[in-house]
Amino acid sequence: MSAPEIHPSATVAESAKLACGVKVGAHAVVGEGVELGEGCVVHPHAVVCGPSQFGKGNVFYSFCAVGGDPQDYSFAGEITELVAGERNIFREYVSVSRGTKKGGGITRLGSENFLLAYSHIGHDCQIGSNNLFVNAATLAGHVTIEDFATVGALSPVHQFCRVGRYAYIGASTVITQDVPPFSRIVTERETKSFGANTIGLERKGFSPERIKVLQDAFRLLSRSKLNTSQALAEMRERLGASEDVRELVKFIESAERGIVK
């Protein structure tokens, strides 16, 4: 492979070690004690701190902060590490902290983990391989994630919890206990419809008559004793002259995942 390519505006510490084929983009930062394996790509404005070690083919997208100091009150500048395998993807605004002395000193990631935007790996976490961290998935310190697990969007995992292999954590699910391997964990959904968006529609210039028709349509849909098919038939018969109601009916009939009622 070719020698490292470093943009003139990038900052690369003297102690950093860049293998063949590494690319560092504009205004990116590669800090002291960072080791990047062959073919790693540090996109513009990404920050990679050390001491940290990364295998081949890791990709750091813009504005991620990987290998930073642990977010722990007891941290007093001790030398701790982040060690990662190969072909991990750190998307925009991802943050991964190094370990703490009391937690063993090392945060570890395996290979081929995919960390979507704003996800966070806390200090001293032990992460396996082939895991998916969806947008804003958040791991506190000392969490263990085995292999092939999914942590859904906006899902926090409490410190010291474990997530077993092939587990699936659905979006917005709070984890405070261990998640067994092969399991599916999802917070109960209580999302409900409260009818027409009357205030918003008024602000957008809808007339009182137009809003009244939509209110009647939503009453048929969610507050009558009719099922969805019956409510749609009634809406066509009683309110079908309204273009808004026709749009509402068409949308509901084309729903493939059901509708919120």
Query: Among the options 43, 120, 123, 142, which is catalytic?
Result: 123
Rg (CA), the chain: 25
27-63 residues labelled b (16+ CB within 10 A) or e (exposed)? ebbbbebbbbbebbbbbebbbbbbbbbbbbbbbbbbb
Plot region of 29 (φ>0 → left; ψ -120 to 50 → alpha; else → beta): beta
Residue type present at position 52: S
- Specify whether 124 is catalytic: yes
8 A C-beta contact, residue 124 and residue 104: yes
- Specify whether 72 is catalytic: no
In whole angstroms, what is the distance from residue 199 CA to residue 87 CA? 49
Tell the residue number behind the tokens 């505006």, with chain if given. 9
Q: How many CB atoms lie within 10 A of CB 77?
A: 6
Query: Among the options 67, 110, 141, 152, which is catalytic?
Result: 141
In whole angstroms, what is the distance from residue 125 CA to residue 106 CA? 8
Residues near 100 by Cβ (< 8 Å), separated by ≥ 6? 70, 72, 74, 75, 78, 80, 123, 124, 141
- Specify whether 170 is catalytic: no
In whole angstroms, what is the distance from residue 88 CA to residue 64 CA? 13
Query: Among the options 57, 67, 124, 152, which is catalytic?
Result: 124
The residues assigned a catalytic role are 123-124, 141
